[in-house]
Structure 1
């Protein structure tokens, strides 16, 4: 399992928003910025206050981080990812979130299948 570092500074988020590409479904918006030469990927999360109180938002963030840890071996190396959660996420289970994130990452063509081919 590779390490996923976190995007924390507003400036880093703004660079990904401005220069990255976005992919979305009903539950998530994923921005992907390819960084050449970096041996690690970085993850940034955005969960709106409209999704619930602090407990609910932290719960959603923990689920997303855990899903990314599980998928880290299949993700393309050296990218910056920013994930924005939409309203339906607040009532989803862990498995539903995982299926939805996998769907968006496949749309972004950054998730490898079990044979190591990007899809």
Structure 2
């Protein structure tokens, strides 16, 4: 059973930006909004601005974000809409660094449950 789906509509992103809580790290910023309608599922959206780089670099940034999210997903609480915004520094980062930054932000939000698996 999947516990994660994608945010697809602009209004869903706007709701997370306007009413969600924000935390920023070295490689990404996260907007977190409690979604009571989808209590058993986390929905996420990725945003990578053209300021980050060309298409190849932006796609790499999205892959890093997706993989980090995939690795943390089994330990996450459900019922949230998350918008992950890549920052320019992500271009020089390795997956482990992005995952650690994401885990730190999710912990601040109280989204992580269970012990860390290294």
Q: Fold-level match, TM-score > 0.5?
A: yes
Equivalent-residue separation in structure 2 for 1:81 and 1:42 (angstroms) = 6
Report if the CA contact (8 A) 1:63-1:94 is conserved: yes
Aligned match of 2:75? 74
Aligned match of 2:15? 15
Give the deviation of 1:85 after TM superposition: 1.1
Equivalent-residue separation in structure 1 for 2:26 and 2:99 (angstroms) = 14
| SS at 2:75 equivalent | coil
Equivalent-residue separation in structure 2 for 1:10 and 1:97 (angstroms) = 25
Aligned match of 1:57? 58
Report if the CA contact (8 A) 1:16-1:31 is conserved: yes
Give 5+ residue unaligned stretches, structure 2.
none
Aligned match of 1:107? 108
Give 5+ residue unaligned stretches, structure 1.
none
1:71-97 residue CA offsets vs partner (Å, 9 max, x unmatched): 111111010000111111111011111
Report if the CA contact (8 A) 1:43-1:80 is conserved: yes
- State the superposition RMSD in angstroms: 1.6
Count of matched residue pairs: 115
Give the deviation of 1:37 after TM superposition: 4.5
TM-score, normalization: structure 2? 0.89
Report if the CA contact (8 A) 2:67-2:95 is conserved: no
Give the deviation of 1:47 after TM superposition: 0.7
Equivalent-residue separation in structure 2 for 1:25 and 1:53 (angstroms) = 22
Aligned match of 1:43? 44
